[in-house]
Structure 1
Amino acid sequence: MAGMPDGSFSGAAPLDVAVAASRHLLAVPDDVLVEEVEALALSRYPQAAWVEADVFALAEETYLSGPFLVTAADRDALGLPDWADQTYLLTCRPERGGPVPEELRAVGGLLAAFAEGSVEGQERAAVDVLCAMGRRLGGTVRTSTGHLLEPDPTAGVDLVVHSEVWLHPDALVRVLTPVLPGVRLLTEPELDARTQLHAADSAPDAAQGGARPGGGELDEGERAWLHAEADAFDAHALAQPQVTEAYGAQWSYPDGGIIGVAVEAEQQVPLVLAGLEWAADGTITYALRWYPADPVALHEGRAGRVALDQREDARARIEAGARALLEAVRGAATDDDQFLVDP
């Protein structure tokens, strides 16, 4: 087996534009290392291996080759952005279906890129991985049909922490408060008997001396009995294992936009966690996501400086929140493409 290529940008070979134009390609900036591309590919194709100095075999008849140096002339010929300094070429057997209906072509993305014949099967899986790598690495994908598939404006912001540890809602708030001051729970734990009794004692009609629901006042014996019942209920509740299926928390920006946190048990774990003993029976997931105030404007490129600054602030806060959670519950973090990340 051949060794992997030089990880530095200087090790990139010249690009054959004619060959590149006929392949799906991933274009990335000059600071992306081969090791990063290899790690992402392995997370989706665990059996992948270098078969030549610059050819990574992902699966049968599916290869990723590179990196190749992209010049200004190459960018002009292929319609690549100015920051595209190196590229990787995907070689795979074409698998196409029928033409995409006109109304769906307007959606853009893969539907528009493969309008004459929808991409399917192994080719579709490989192109999806290439697009996911582009989102993770800040790159872009050019299909063999000549379409550029730009990353979503919110790509690379959201993270999910996977752990075997379940945090009580109040504990989650304590962990995230240094990063998201004022974060609040969306669903409060059910009131226990003592809280209900306190609420009854504080109600307007009870303030007059403690009235029965049907009228009249509670004597000292009745009140003592109710408090004893509440104590017994609390003791029983504390002795039981806590069962909570899911809950959420939210932190808001003053000018719109929120960071949401969703906590739930998940039986099906990402491929990158398969084989880990602590994830064998499923995990608890802590998903941190940014929801912009005007997602349509952001996707259409009409977002102002405030929204773009908020995106970068949200990215930083979510990374810090993921680090805080990992310190509290251990585990691992992934992005929405289920790549392992180190926030």
Structure 2
Amino acid sequence: MTVYVPAMTGPTAVPPDLDGSHVLAVPRGTSLVPLARAWFPQAAWSREPATAAQTASARPMTGARFRGIAVAPPDPTGALSLDGAVEVVGPWPLDAADARALGLPARDSDLYGLPAAPVAGATLTPELVTGWATAVARRTGGGILPAARDRVVVPDPGAAVDLTLWSAVPLSPDDALPLVRPALSGSRLAVPAPVSGRSQAFTLVATYEYDGEVEVRCARSREVPVVLSTLDWREHGPWGYHVTWRPPDPLELEVPHPSQLHVIARQRVTPSIARVVASLWRTVGGTIVDAGGFVVGHEEVDDRARPR
């Protein structure tokens, strides 16, 4: 779910340097490099932002011998190159009050500028870059100000409930079912897929009257999330354990404001999904990736597993 808020009119706290650019807002201090490399493995700073210590140490020269000498302060912003051509520039600080006035989440934030038009020599399309920015905003609880400044995009972090465990170890359906059932009561084996190697791809399904279905699908894949290419090969594998929620009305996954019944059902299934993934991970190891293509640490999985 993504919330669209009408843009505020009148003076804003967005720096003029960002005019004509899409603006990504993330919580203050968020490290953007690992989030960028999850989609663009070669991402790196072409110009690193100045640290607070560097900015504070750049004091004007004083005394008679320095009269007439102007000292330019260091540029506090950096340039994060995604592909050698497309750059994300920032951060610019934004306090919680100004963020609220803009329609963004009311917290101290960092602003980054994204190109709103194709960049010469780029291998990335503007649509892919803004798709990444939307995923980052959802992942971090941030938001986006489009270049037109006609609205504010605030993706709902709670909407991304699906998780996938990527492991080198396949399980048989008979071994997986006892691991899944404590978190998903009533889980049953659906029609198995064709045999793959020594093991069998399979799907387990748990169905609930008011909460829809939770599906656990195990399959070997030739295509894995980009973020896995940034990890040691021993930390993951080709076997994906995809844990997916299918709500009673799937269309509610796409609307900006789903019903309260949808939200309540989502809150009930989210801990179960996390517990299933945690149980599988303890058995087969691997790396957990969320629906946005970002690695999810075990502490976060444990936090998701707690009922709200």
Query: Normalised by the size of structure 1, how large is the TM-score?
Result: 0.63
Match status 1:332 vs 2:287:
yes
**In structure 2, how many angstroms separate the alpha carbons of the residues matched to 1:162 and 1:297?**
28
Q: Which one-letter code corresponds to 1:320 in the other structure?
A: R
Displacement of 1:122 in angstroms is 3.7
Match status 1:180 vs 2:177:
no
Displacement of 1:296 in angstroms is 2.9
Select the structure that is richer in strand: 2
The structure, 1 or 2, with the larger RCO (C-alpha pairs under 8 Å, 6+ apart) is: 2
2:143 to 140, 143, 154: 140
Q: Secondary structure at the match of 2:38?
A: helix
Aligned CA distance change for structure 1 residues 312 and 131 (closer, same or farther; 3 Å)? same
Corresponding residue for 1:72? 97
Q: Which one-letter code corresponds to 2:90 in the other structure?
A: S
Q: Secondary structure at the match of 2:17?
A: helix
Q: Secondary structure at the match of 1:341?
A: coil
Aligned CA distance change for structure 1 residues 256 and 140 (closer, same or farther; 3 Å)? same
Deviations 1:39-83 (A, max 9, x none): 21232233313622242412334124115224534543xx42353
Q: Secondary structure at the match of 1:170?
A: helix
Task: Give ranges in structure 2 of 5+ residues lacking alignment.
Answer: 1-11, 51-76, 302-308
1:6-25 equivalences in 2 (<5 Å): 15-25=13-23
Q: Which one-letter code corresponds to 1:242 in the other structure?
A: R
Q: Secondary structure at the match of 1:312?
A: helix
Query: Normalised by the size of structure 2, how large is the TM-score?
Result: 0.70
2:112 to 89, 93, 96: 89
1:301 to 257, 269, 274: 257
Aligned CA distance change for structure 1 residues 341 and 92 (closer, same or farther; 3 Å)? same
**In structure 2, how many angstroms separate the alpha carbons of the residues matched to 1:297 and 1:189?**
29
Displacement of 1:29 in angstroms is 4.8
- Bigger Rg, which one: 1
Corresponding residue for 2:30? 34
Aligned CA distance change for structure 1 residues 153 and 39 (closer, same or farther; 3 Å)? closer
Aligned CA distance change for structure 1 residues 300 and 134 (closer, same or farther; 3 Å)? closer
Q: Which one-letter code corresponds to 1:52 in the other structure?
A: P
Corresponding residue for 2:127? 124
Point out the more displaced range, 38-47 or 158-167: 38-47
Task: Give ranges in structure 1 of 5+ residues lacking alignment.
Answer: 1-13, 97-119, 191-240
Q: Which one-letter code corresponds to 2:30 in the other structure?
A: V
**In structure 2, how many angstroms separate the alpha carbons of the residues matched to 1:16 and 1:256?**
41
**In structure 2, how many angstroms separate the alpha carbons of the residues matched to 1:272 and 1:302?**
30
Displacement of 1:243 in angstroms is 4.2
1:1-343 equivalences in 2 (<5 Å): 15-29=13-27, 33-35=29-31, 37-47=32-42, 48-49=44-45, 51-53=48-50, 54-59=77-82, 60-61=84-85, 62-66=87-91, 68-73=93-98, 75-76=100-101, 79-83=102-106, 85-92=108-115, 94-95=117-118, 121-146=124-149, 147-151=151-155, 155-187=159-191, 242-244=198-200, 246-274=201-229, 276-278=232-234, 283-297=238-252, 299-304=255-260, 306-342=261-297, 343=301
Deviations 1:215-239 (A, max 9, x none): xxxxxxxxxxxxxxxxxxxxxxxxx
Q: Which one-letter code corresponds to 2:97 in the other structure?
A: A
**In structure 1, how many angstroms separate the alpha carbons of the residues matched to 2:78 and 2:179?**
44
**In structure 1, how many angstroms separate the alpha carbons of the residues matched to 2:289 and 2:141?**
16
Aligned CA distance change for structure 1 residues 169 and 148 (closer, same or farther; 3 Å)? same
